[in-house]
Amino acid sequence: MEMDNPCFWNEFELKQPPLVTLQVEDTGFAKNVFVVINRFLQQLSEPEAKDFEETAALIGRLMARRKNSFRNMPGFRAVCKLNAALCRLLRLDLSRDLVQFRGALPDVCDEDLGGAMPTRSSFEYILVRLLGFYHLHERIRECCLTAATYFTQLLRNNFFMDFITLLIAAIAKINKLSSLQASKSASLYNKLRPQVANFPLVAKHKFLAEGQELPAKLEPLKSSPNENKAVSNTPDLVLIPKKVVTKMEKAKLEAKSDVGTVIARKEAPSEVLSKPKFNEEALATVADAQRFIARETKARKQNPPPDSCLTKSIPKHEWLAAQTLFQRKMSKDPAKALNIFRKFIVSKIK
């Protein structure tokens, strides 16, 4: 009877048997166990595994941000189940158990040499952890398919376009990476399962209960018909690449294009005659400057200022600042005050 009770491999507090070692005469098989475990641990440290963790964290943040908007939708409930499965997978920490078991294997493995080997119960515990890892990825893919099917329908109806597009992209990436990790774990299990009989058995440390037996083989996760159907019904997003135009091609295009003859716009004589002009000699003395300030201030108060107002283009704060500086300097050095005010007016009007 195979172990078909999911609660066994899915328990959070699965009691680990004591990691003890016993002396055996043949340690040649331990080399293959060490190699396949070491290769799997290297695969878990690849960039794909990091992408899986980052995408899982993104799904958790998206779920938390929209939990009030979508909490009654079936697709969002699937996303919540997906997030729970991802958190459970993180808590499983398969790599820690594999590193611990790998450290208990003998340093030198030879058919003619004896050595200390972990017990069969410790090895079966590792296989059960692999089962949990595999079935959690199976659960993740089921939740991905349910959520993607629902949110794809909303996307066709133009609901929540920005959020759903990002969510479907994250779900698709998790689904792809989960399939890869599940296939690798199934391959590792299938390589380790035949080695059970080679490990020494201790009756008082027996891990599996009576009637429980580990599955003989795990099948890699394959695309289901519903998944293929969902992918085929998903509208394709085609990105048309923008043609890059080099400087040489741009110059040739500009040379061939007929832009006509550029004609400069000449100002009408009437406009030139009507535009007021400023004569610097009008500010020859301090009294002239005072009369100029009084006349321009009166003209600026009109709405709109008349055309005869020479300072109407000067901002109000600059005009007030110029008057204040002129009055302050005039009490100490009238010539310097007149010179500064005249330069200001000339720079603003001419």
The string of pLDDT tens digits covering residues 21-55 is: 888 888 888 889 999 999 999 988 888 888 898 99
For residue 134, being part of any structural domain is answered with yes
pLDDT value for 278: 66
Residues 6 or more apart whose Cβ sits within 8 Å of residue 309: 296, 299, 300, 302
Pair 208, 2: CB distance under 8 Å: no
Other beta carbons less than 10 A from residue 180's beta carbon? 17
**Do residues 83 and 223 both lie within one domain?**
yes
**Do residues 170 and 313 both lie within one domain?**
no
For residue 151, being part of any structural domain is answered with yes
Reply yes or no: is the peptide bond before residue 304 cis, omega within 30 of 0. yes
Distances in Å between the alpha carbon of 44 and those of 7, 12, 126, 180, 184? 25, 21, 16, 11, 9
**150: closest CA among 171, 179, 178?**
171
182 burial via Cβ count (<10 Å: 0-12, 13-18, 19+): buried
Upper half-sphere CA count for residue 285 (Cβ side, 13 Å): 3
pLDDT value for 226: 53
For residue 270, being part of any structural domain is answered with no
**Do residues 124 and 23 both lie within one domain?**
yes
Residues 6 or more apart whose Cβ sits within 8 Å of residue 127: 189, 192, 193, 196, 214
**Do residues 153 and 299 both lie within one domain?**
no
For residue 269, being part of any structural domain is answered with no
**Do residues 24 and 94 both lie within one domain?**
yes
For residue 305, being part of any structural domain is answered with yes
For residue 169, being part of any structural domain is answered with yes
pLDDT value for 224: 56
Q: Which tokens sit at 22?
A: 């016993």
**139: closest CA among 230, 221, 48, 231?**
221
pLDDT value for 113: 73
pLDDT value for 265: 54
**85: closest CA among 6, 147, 142, 168?**
142
For residue 120, being part of any structural domain is answered with yes
Letter string b/e over residues 123-156, b meaning 16 or more CB atoms within 10 A of that residue's CB: bbbbbbbbbbbbbbbbbbbbbbbbbbbbbbebbe
* C-alpha–C-alpha distance, residues 131 and 75, integer Å: 27
pLDDT value for 4: 45
Residue length, the chain? 350
**Do residues 213 and 282 both lie within one domain?**
no
Final residue of a domain: which of 183, 214, 233?
A: 233
Distances in Å between the alpha carbon of 130 and those of 183, 262, 311? 11, 78, 85
For residue 244, being part of any structural domain is answered with no
**Do residues 229 and 280 both lie within one domain?**
no
pLDDT value for 250: 67
Residues 6 or more apart whose Cβ sits within 8 Å of residue 130: 94, 185, 188, 189, 192
DSSP string, 260-282: ----PPPPPHHHHHHS----GGG
**Do residues 24 and 121 both lie within one domain?**
yes
**Do residues 47 and 151 both lie within one domain?**
yes
* C-alpha–C-alpha distance, residues 57 and 52, integer Å: 9
**Do residues 227 and 311 both lie within one domain?**
no
65 bridge partner residues? none
**Do residues 122 and 173 both lie within one domain?**
yes
Tens of pLDDT along the chain (350 residues) come to 344 444 566 666 678 888 888 888 888 888 899 999 999 999 888 888 888 989 999 998 888 887 776 777 888 889 989 999 999 988 888 999 999 999 998 877 767 677 888 999 999 999 999 999 999 999 999 999 999 998 888 888 777 778 888 889 999 999 999 999 999 999 999 999 999 998 988 877 778 877 778 888 998 876 555 555 544 444 443 334 445 556 667 666 666 655 555 555 555 444 444 445 666 777 788 888 888 888 888 888 888 888 778 888 888 888 888 888 888 888 888 888 888 888 888 887 76
pTM over 0.85: no
State how many domains the chain has: 2
**Do residues 130 and 214 both lie within one domain?**
yes
pLDDT value for 189: 95
Q: Which residue range is the domain that position 210 belongs to?
A: 6-233
Q: Which tokens sit at 174?
A: 């998790």
Final residue of a domain: which of 212, 233, 254?
A: 233
Final residue of a domain: which of 203, 233, 263?
A: 233
